[in-house]
Structure 1
Amino acid sequence: MAPWFSAAAVLPQLRAEWHLSPQAGSWLALAVQLGFVAGAVGSALLNLADRVPSRVLILVGAVAAGAANAALLGAHTGAAAFALRALVGVALALVYPPALRAMSAYFTRGRGLALGIMVGALTLGSASPHLVNGLGGAQWRTVIAVTSALAVLGGLVAALVGPGPHRTPAPPVRPAQAWRALAARGPALATLGYLGHMWELYAMWTWFALYYGGVLRAAGSADVTRGAALATFAVVGVGALGCVVGGMLGDRWGRTRVTELAMWLSGGSALLLAALAGAAPGVVLSIGVFWGFWIIADSAQFSTIVSEVADPAYVGTAMTAQLALGFTLTAVSIALVPVLEPALGWRGIFVIWAVGPLLGALAMRTLRATPDAARIAGGRG
């Protein structure tokens, strides 16, 4: 997954070299997510995660992502870079959903923790560009080359992993199953919860550095760029631990309960920051780290729930479709911030972000009261 955030790590350098406007830079950041949505929709319609061995899909996707990422070294315009970044997203749609599917085929007990560890790895990948920037940055060509090589290496490692003991036989191609898999009451409620979670997650990850830079600037900080980058690394990176804790609680306490709790705490953190406009940087960072822990702690549990309540023959398709819907929504919430923030300020943005998890928490509470709850986390709901 290294190429996903490779351009984000060196975006200031790319803007300077290719003479990109701030708007063009934002589109470059969105390109991977838009490409991922396109790839996930295509994969779900073809039921690829259920019909093709996971290690084959991951190998093909990882090598393709590495190649598209490496092609940035020969790009000279923002348009070419956008197309290549979108291709990275399309390729990674063959990596992330099949990896979740493969993990679910290895675990019945402890599945929430297993998927939580995997999503925790994604969280560390999200945080790493901010660490690079906080430590002084790196020459962008080196970053692109290294992340491309890591993608290929990851694909080769995945190729060594055989099918799990709970893998089901390949089903026939049924494009309609992509959406039918999520239409039943249980998967539909889990997906509504997931959408509430995703409304807030990637927007916060994308824009926290800009917000916290403003907090530091208002406090008279001498090194705003470095301080904001290191703070954002802490806020996003702590979510890896949140994913592990969320997985443990999901297995032992129940997935609907831990997802509801995480979204109440996450949405509440956004509202608290909205109420504390003008607070000292230390106060804001403390709340931000708490927010970063809980904003992602529930993420893997939504996929785990789908793996438990969806048609076993099309679990991979259901996971892929859920991810496609979620990442579509993130593109909207990310793009709205530059449009709304000048009029509403960060206080208004945080209130808007909080709406998603608060509605998502209600969806998970509703799911806990349905018969499908008996099939989740060994009957714990």
Structure 2
Amino acid sequence: MSQTAVVAPAPARILPTIVFSQFAGTSLWFAGNAVLPELQASLQLQESALGLLTSAVQFGFILGTFCFAFFSLADRLSPRLLFLICALLGAAANALVLFSATSVGGVLLLRAVTGFLLAGIYPVGMKIAASWYSGKLGKAIGYLVGALVLGTAFPHLLRGLGAALPWQTTLMAVSALAVVGGVLMYLLVPDGPYLRKGTRFDAGNMLRVFRAKDFRAAAFGYFGHMWELYTLWAFVPLLLAYGLPELPQEQLSVYSFCVIAAGAIGCVGGGYLSQRWGSGRVAFVQLLLSGICCLLSVWVLQVPLLLLPFLVFWGVVVAGDSPQFSALTAKAAPPQLVGTALTVVTSVGFAITIGSIQFMGFLLTIIPPYFAFVFLAVGPLVGLLSMFPLLRK
């Protein structure tokens, strides 16, 4: 690789295309949650359906990222081709829910398949960004994870603004968006100058990346963050319905979008702050603030006037540290195994979300919501303690 190729600035279209494609692909994530009332009616599901649908996607994603990491697919194949294939197949799996809406098992299976294919979208998108941006990786991934946050929140907005539309239309719109994102990524984003090629299959690759002390510190900080993040996202509609019971369904969906989408502000803003303060400090501060929100939820969830602004702030900081953890992970990983490192850390992180979501679902059956969410503070506490080696350095 020539020095000129390394330092040449990326074309202006690269980052916006990666960001839009990531947003489009990850909108598949919570598509099932956005049409949950209709699925509940069709399948005669109980209130536990929210946890089941979310956990099905998470389980599929965990299995997918494990397989991708084990075979080092993101480091052995063209990342943009992998992204395209997974976006197309994920869109198809999401659309097929239309034909399985009378079978609980069918819907859960398709949501799990969608999660499996998201393993070729989210971490692979970060690998593509890392192949184009090096010194400003925290800023670039800030935009990228911000797109993930918006993609996660988008089905709620679509549902809120088009509540009168058939739920089938919502699912098809999300699938079409994912297809467009995959095609644009493949056509407009060639392999970047920092892409390392030629990695061979080695079953030990996914464990080898943990040998570096800085990598372990970043990874365990991320694991603590993940205990909190997706559980909060999954239960945002429940929290809003509990604290503001008079809200109509369409307004509840719009408010859910606002809370989750606020995380994009934390991601992008944190990306810019990382250029001055460093990714480690930015991640530490945001994780600390989200942990404090966990503790304050005992009180604020009982005050309707403060509920929405509190949840929006919590939404900002609960997601804002995620891109900086990814940037720290990518920088600390062996250059030829960046894709594998990002994928295996993501896999473990999302495995943690399964336990957290199911644990929260159990807690909500025995204690009031305002008291249950304080238990999310365990994750930020573990993550903060793990990050001290990075701060000292």
TM-score, length basis structure 2: 0.89
Aligned equivalents of 2:299, 2:175: Cα separation in 1: 42
Confirm whether residue 57 of structure 1 aligns to residue 82 of structure 2: yes
Confirm whether residue 11 of structure 1 aligns to residue 36 of structure 2: yes
Residue 66 of structure 1 is matched in structure 2 by 91
Aligned equivalents of 2:58, 2:35: Cα separation in 1: 17
Aligned equivalents of 1:136, 1:96: Cα separation in 2: 27
Confirm whether residue 248 of structure 1 aligns to residue 272 of structure 2: yes
Residue 9 of structure 2 is matched in structure 1 by none
Unaligned runs of 5+ in 1: 374-381
Q: Deviations over 1:38-73 (max 9, x none)?
A: 000000000011111111100111111011112112
Matches within 5 A, 1:173-322: 173-217=201-245, 221=246, 223-279=247-303, 281-322=304-345
Counterparts in 2 of 1:271 and 1:59: CA distance versus 1, 3 Å: same
Aligned equivalents of 2:49, 2:262: Cα separation in 1: 30
How far 1:177 sits from its partner (Å)? 1.1
Unaligned runs of 5+ in 2: 1-24
Residue 8 of structure 2 is matched in structure 1 by none
Which of the residues 155, 161, 177 maps onto 1:135?
A: 161
Residue 177 of structure 2 is matched in structure 1 by 150
Aligned residues: 365
Aligned equivalents of 2:300, 2:48: Cα separation in 1: 29
Which of the residues 77, 91, 100 maps onto 2:117?
A: 91
Residue 35 of structure 1 is matched in structure 2 by 60
How far 1:135 sits from its partner (Å)? 3.0
How far 1:148 sits from its partner (Å)? 1.5
- Identical counterparts, % of pairs: 38
Q: Is the 8 A contact 2:57 2:115 kept in 1?
A: yes
Confirm whether residue 166 of structure 1 aligns to residue 194 of structure 2: yes
Aligned equivalents of 1:156, 1:132: Cα separation in 2: 22
Q: Is the 8 A contact 1:63 1:151 kept in 2?
A: yes
Aligned equivalents of 2:183, 2:234: Cα separation in 1: 30
Q: Is the 8 A contact 2:230 2:353 kept in 1?
A: yes
Q: List structure 1 runs of 4+ shifted beyond 6 angstroms.
A: none
Residue 366 of structure 2 is matched in structure 1 by 343
The one-letter amino acid of 2:320's match is A
Q: Deviations over 1:184-242 (max 9, x none)?
A: 2111111110011111001111112212211113xxx3x35344333222211111111
**Secondary structure in 2 matching 1:163:** coil
Higher mean C-alpha deviation, range 153-162 or range 46-55: 153-162
How far 1:365 sits from its partner (Å)? 2.2
How far 1:83 sits from its partner (Å)? 0.8
The one-letter amino acid of 1:195's match is F
Q: Is the 8 A contact 1:256 1:365 kept in 2?
A: no
**Secondary structure in 1 matching 2:29:** helix
The one-letter amino acid of 1:144's match is L
The one-letter amino acid of 2:203's match is P
Matches within 5 A, 1:321-360: 321-360=344-383
RMSD across aligned positions (CA)? 1.6
Aligned equivalents of 1:211, 1:63: Cα separation in 2: 34
Which of the residues 100, 114, 123 maps onto 2:140?
A: 114
Q: Is the 8 A contact 1:15 1:25 kept in 2?
A: no
Q: Deviations over 1:140-159 (max 9, x none)?
A: 21112222222222111111
**Secondary structure in 1 matching 2:366:** helix
